[in-house]
Structure 1
Amino acid sequence: MSIDMGVWAGRTDPEDGELGMRWHQKIRPADQANDEGIMLLGFACDEGVSRNKGRTGAFDAPVAIRKVLANLAWHHTEPVYDGGDICCSDGNLELAQHRLGEDVCRALRQKHKVMVLGGGHEVAWGTFQGIGNYLIQKQHVNEQQNQDAFSSAKAPSTPKVGIINFDAHFDLRNPPGGQQSEQGSSGTPFHQIARFCQLQGWPFHYACLGLSRTSNTQALYQKADTLSVLYKDDVELKQQNLESVQEELQAFIDQSDYLYLTIDMDVFPAAVAPGVSAPAARGVPVEIIENLLSQILSSKTQNGDSKVLVADIAEYNPRFDIDSQTARLAARLVWTIARALR
């Protein structure tokens, strides 16, 4: 794990005092994380995209997003920390995902909300390992407290994690080595998550919004139906359908104890987000996704905390960006999510 605070640089407006602050003036390295806040983690990796026969270049995304984010105006009330990058430069994707999971789990234990900057969408399997391990540890603590309080074992509660993925693709592919293979790619993370949930006896609660039917085979739609996935094609996500989509999404959120939010930048039109591995011929308008994001980010647990534990950004590819257009959109999404989480 390396933390390069040098990327956090930009304009300063000292004449405006504290109200003139920007992100680069406020963000702190993770070793200064004394208070609960937002923990930013980077996943510099496109090994999964390479294995999935896509266009590589997402390795450089975390730094590129930070550089744009650095100059955005500070409108936050709680601290943001940079936990550095996990880098996968040796082809060992599985180790990189494991290490990301460890960092996500550690940040959650420290009571931070977590944002991960990918990287290909293989980031999702690393992120979810962290969420899963955190909740397993939390389960064990709760069981021990119950036993101490009542001197008898209680049936452990099963956490229900709602996974909401804005994406042109299901990313539910079976690994090349078979369904139980550990060798994944950017196309397999939600298959791997479904298997994790199965092994834990947890429900697999997955919503995929913004699918391009031309980019997902019949086999993937059939698999999604088998797994009871809530999905919406890009053609369904339009203003006249928004209310009914929000109703279905709210029912999904209400059935979730926690939420994991992941945004694949290829869900947006190529004219808006050209810097991705697989540009969308149609995509979903930004304002539709912003409406749905607002709904997701406003969801609360019983104690008033945000249901969203972790959010990540995937598949931004600086190699194919135009005038940092996609980086600006990714940074704005990070800004919006971070402000809502805290």
Structure 2
Amino acid sequence: MTTKNHIPASKELWQGRATSVDNEYWYQIIDCLQPTDSLSNYNYAIVGYTCHEGVKRNQGRLGAAKGPDAIRNKLAKVPVHFNDIKIADVGNIPCIDNNMEACQDDYATVITQALNAQCFPIGIGGGHDIAYATFKGIWNSFEADNKPKIGIINFDAHFDFRVKTAAGNSGTPFYQIIEEHPRNVEYLAIGIQQQGNTRALFNYAESKKLSFIPWENCEEYGDGFEKIKAELNQFASKVDHLYITIDLDAFSSAFAPGVSAPSALGITPKFALKVLTELLSSQKVIALDIAELNPSLDQDNVTAGLAARMIDYVVNQ
């Protein structure tokens, strides 16, 4: 996992209650690797993106750079309910001297190396500019003459395709991806809020024929979810692989207060888990990341705990 800047994983971040039983909690089963270690024997690799430069450029509230370690702290204490799954923590990719682009390149390199080792990468951020880096890592894992069609599932209150001008930020990742790879990308946003997006962003979605599900349609029960399930299956059928990215501000602030842009409106964790179940059953999901946790704004680590539970849920599927 050779990159220019890479902070090795630390076992100090993985601590939990003392127990006489082995492999009872995540902190007991996680392997903390050095940057030069191979991922070929692991099922999952956790990769930290300790960068909030994109949030800063997008005029958001800073603090997401500390999100990855806060998620690790909560995940460490989650009980283990799976067998024969090997999980590695490969450490953090930092943003040095506000150079978000270099951070994205280094992070993408680790994602590519994980995928080439047949290891499922789980990114933890960090601002949602992590999405551009994750996609770049996915894209680079395929041969130049054999690029697949990749479907992006974005749990988010925002489209995040603001036009990139001088530099990217946490609001531009999907604009960058779509403009750079118009023939190889499908996009579906889940949880979009009208008050969180300008008319221009809705117009862009329409012009590019990009799909979205408004937050108010994200019901957990009845015919509402059956319609969403059908839409998810139709979306998955159009692509070769799926990449899931979760911006925690998609959730109501009742469940995720610790984000730069919280909202009383939003989706519920139960709904998100049902969607994840459907997507993972397709056998097409090859990468996932969780973005925008800001520990300085969190309440009783509720948002960090939600992120940890989402990761645990994915591994248990």
The TM-score normalised by the length of structure 2 is 0.93
Asked whether 1:277 is paired with 2:280, we answer: no
Distance 2:117 2:39 in 1: 9
For residues 279-329 of structure 1, the C-alpha deviation after alignment (integer angstroms, 9 at most, x for no partner) is 0130012211111111011112xxxxxx11110000111010000010110
The answer to whether the 8 A contact 2:252-2:265 is kept is yes
Distance 2:43 2:18 in 1: 23
1:21 Cα shift? 1.6
1:34 Cα shift? 5.2
Q: How does 1:49-68 map to 2 (within 5 A)?
A: 49-68=55-74
For residues 141-160 of structure 1, the C-alpha deviation after alignment (integer angstroms, 9 at most, x for no partner) is xxxxxxxxxxxxxxx5x511
Distance 1:5 1:36 in 2: 17
Distance 2:300 2:123 in 1: 23
Distance 2:273 2:180 in 1: 30
For residues 206-254 of structure 1, the C-alpha deviation after alignment (integer angstroms, 9 at most, x for no partner) is 0000011001011000101111111011111113411111101110011
The answer to whether the 8 A contact 2:39-2:117 is kept is no
Distance 2:141 2:265 in 1: 37
Name the structure 1 match of 2:188: 207
Amino acid at match of 2:226: E
1:272 Cα shift? 1.1
Name the structure 1 match of 2:44: 38
| Structure 1 residue corresponding to 2:75, chosen from 42, 45, 69 | 69
Distance 2:97 2:81 in 1: 39
The answer to whether the 8 A contact 1:175-1:184 is kept is yes
Which segments of structure 1 move beyond 6 Å, counting only runs of 4 or more? none
Name the structure 1 match of 2:246: 263
Name the structure 1 match of 2:154: 165
For residues 47-104 of structure 1, the C-alpha deviation after alignment (integer angstroms, 9 at most, x for no partner) is 0000001111100000000000001111232100011000114110110001111110
Name the structure 1 match of 2:206: 225
Amino acid at match of 1:196: E
Name the structure 2 match of 1:194: 178
Aligned length: 305
The answer to whether the 8 A contact 1:12-1:21 is kept is no
1:261 Cα shift? 0.3
Name the structure 2 match of 1:308: 285
Name the structure 1 match of 2:27: 24
Amino acid at match of 1:43: Y
Distance 2:101 2:53 in 1: 10
Q: Secondary structure at the match of 1:311?
A: strand
The answer to whether the 8 A contact 2:54-2:170 is kept is yes
1:169 Cα shift? 0.2
1:32 Cα shift? 6.4
| Structure 2 residue corresponding to 1:129, chosen from 136, 154, 162 | 136
- Rg bigger for which structure? 1
The TM-score normalised by the length of structure 1 is 0.86
Q: What percentage of residue pairs aligned between the two structures are identical?
A: 38
Q: Secondary structure at the match of 2:264?
A: coil
Distance 2:124 2:133 in 1: 12
RMSD: 1.4
More helix by share: 1
List gaps (5 residues or longer) in structure 2: 1-5
1:124 Cα shift? 0.4
The answer to whether the 8 A contact 2:127-2:291 is kept is yes
Distance 2:243 2:192 in 1: 18
Distance 1:58 1:100 in 2: 16
| Structure 2 residue corresponding to 1:244, chosen from 212, 220, 227 | 227
